[in-house]
Amino acid sequence: MVSMTELSKMHGSPESAARLKKRKAAQWRLQAYGILAVVLAGAALVTLLWSVVSKASAVLTESYISMPVVLEVADIDPDGTNDPAVIGKANFGGIAKDTLKLTFPTVTARNDKREMYDIISSGAAFELREMVMENPTLIGETVDFRFLASDIADLYLKGSYGELTEQENSGALTIDSDGKTATITSSADDFTFVMAQVRADLLAKAAFNRQQATLQENGRVVFEERALTAATSEEGAANSAEAVKRAVERDRLIALAVDFEERAALGGSTEALDKNSPSVLVRTSSGWLKLTEISPQGGSGKIIGEVESATLDAADWQVYLQPTPEASRKVSDLQAMLIEDLRSKDAVHIVFNTRFFTSGDSREPELAGIWGAAVGSFWTMLVTITLAFPIGVLAAIYLEEFAKKNAINDMIEVNINNLAAVPSIVFGLLGLAVFLGVFGVPRSAPLAGGMVLAVMTLPTIIIASRAAIKAVPPSIRDAALGLGASKLQTAFHHVLPLSMPGILTGTILGMAQALGETAPLIMIGMVAFIVDIPTGITDSASALPVQIFRWSDFPERGFEARTSAAILVLLLFLVLMNGLAVFLRKRFERRW
């Protein structure tokens, strides 16, 4: 027999106080975990956004180089027809090259000229062509035209390939030039710091080679062991040979390392500079000198531009150091020097990059834009929502209000719920087989993509709509039925408006998910390289996530920033769609 009065006495006891303490501690811990989770999530979000935004910020601007273009009548329209078709056939690429040759007359070697042409984009010639076609009166004149800089020039101007850092100089420079090469000597120790940098670079190379040698040594040891434990003599011989190869390689690397170290140790003497060492450039008012040999007082090297024998005051010459070796970057020293010349002539214009938002895809990073993919995504989403929303909502109404509760309908419900979990690429296969194969929908078209995504989104919409419809209280239905409304009228006049907030939320979430899907679109061919902006649902198109996927694969560094920028555009779309969902919810919200 339990006495209730005895039990009542337990409420104030020290044991119950201890229990209370434990409960409170557990609650506090749970709250702490919750706050910790939120903080971690926030940190992850901030990190993601920071990395994407900082990479994408390079896309904000693009660079143009303005140079005077001589539009010879003989080159463009010799017969004076003023016919755009004739003008369009002229060799504007050649005109662009001629412009560069005119701007830099001292660049003559074949390789050098090729590097010079690479400063401007291949699309610049087309833009020149369009300008002349629109305005034939310009033929015969010399116009200042803004040439779009190539992706490497643009990246150089943005500092992606390392900066040419100017060093301090205080001495007077004596130049001994023969037109092609020159020797220079400074009256002060202006080159000491640079020498030190070169030496440091040598030591770094030595350390790297030693590290590689260690790896070779490790490999040699492994192969020796294998040779000892080999089952057959052929295997043993093969392993021994491998070991020997490793030993030879190791020794070579160590020899190189020793060589680098010895050179670094020699203070005061000259050091040869090649494309694997940092670049040292000396600039005067008329030209540049690229050093091939350096000493603490000066050095000797190749002339770019015009440099004559003279003695210059400290203010009239500068020395630059580029720590990244020429072999490790895409911008050669010559290109860097030419661009710096243009920059000091104020021929370089860095403007806001509207091209990214208005042009379609391109193989050249500087010409590539997101507009084509954005429009493609828009058309695809349009098709998706036009198909998925009515079908989904009506299906949900039917299943909730009209269908009888029997085994068949239970199975349908289970299958719809399961479809929501099917991997999206399977829907792509369905689209490929049925929509493209049987219905003959054009490949790569938003129509096909929209249909596939609609099928994929349908389960999400149906499930969300059913939940929203179930949540409408039966009193509303009773009231409507009691007035003599039919089931159809009750469903559409009363239940549907009241369940709209939930339906819309589910729809927008489904659409946002569909917007970011890549796999099914790949299956139906929307991953092709599409340059034109699609004008309808049957034109070939790409989509934003697919575009991101393709750009992230390209090797050009210019696409790195553009991939991040495209990701930001996609995120913006998603934020807008979620904002729309919130707005529509508020607007349709009723109280019952």
Binding site for other proteins (CB under 8 A): 404-405, 475-476, 478-486, 489, 493-494, 498, 590-592
Q: What distance lies between CA 499 and its chain's CA centroid?
A: 41
Using the minimum distance from each CB to other proteins, give the nearer residue, 484 or 555: 484
In a 3-state reduction of DSSP, which class is residue 66? Answer: strand
Using the minimum distance from each CB to other proteins, give the nearer residue, 50 or 398: 398
Min separation Cβ 395 and other proteins, Å: 21
Question: In angstroms, rounded to a whole number, what is the distance separating the alpha carbons of residues 592 and 582?
Answer: 20
Using the minimum distance from each CB to other proteins, give the nearer residue, 214 or 489: 489
Using the minimum distance from each CB to other proteins, give the nearer residue, 85 or 407: 407
Min separation Cβ 547 and other proteins, Å: 45
Using the minimum distance from each CB to other proteins, give the nearer residue, 76 or 495: 495
Min separation Cβ 591 and other proteins, Å: 6
Using the minimum distance from each CB to other proteins, give the nearer residue, 9 or 404: 404
Question: In angstroms, rounded to a whole number, what is the distance separating the alpha carbons of residues 252 and 213?
Answer: 8
Min separation Cβ 467 and other proteins, Å: 19
Min separation Cβ 502 and other proteins, Å: 15
Using the minimum distance from each CB to other proteins, give the nearer residue, 111 or 475: 475
If one counts every other C-beta atom within 10 angstroms of the C-beta of residue 399, the result is 17
**Residues 6 or more apart in contact with residue 533 via CB below 8 angstroms:** 360, 371, 372, 375
Q: Show the tokens assigned to 270.
A: 């000259």
Min separation Cβ 415 and other proteins, Å: 22
Min separation Cβ 582 and other proteins, Å: 21
Helical axes 496-515 vs 371-397, angle rounded to 10°: 140
Identify the residue whose tokens are 């033929």. 139
In a 3-state reduction of DSSP, which class is residue 186? Answer: strand
Using the minimum distance from each CB to other proteins, give the nearer residue, 232 or 406: 406
Min separation Cβ 487 and other proteins, Å: 8
What DSSP string describes 390-418?
HHHHHHHHIIIIIS--SHHHHHHHHHHHH
**Residues 6 or more apart in contact with residue 338 via CB below 8 angstroms:** 104, 107, 116, 119
Question: In angstroms, rounded to a whole number, what is the distance separating the alpha carbons of residues 564 and 424?
Answer: 24
Using the minimum distance from each CB to other proteins, give the nearer residue, 420 or 481: 481
Helices (H), 189-310: 192-228, 233-265
Question: In angstroms, rounded to a whole number, what is the distance separating the alpha carbons of residues 450 and 517?
Answer: 11
Min separation Cβ 592 and other proteins, Å: 5
Q: How many CA atoms within 13 Å lie on the side-chain side of 43? A: 6
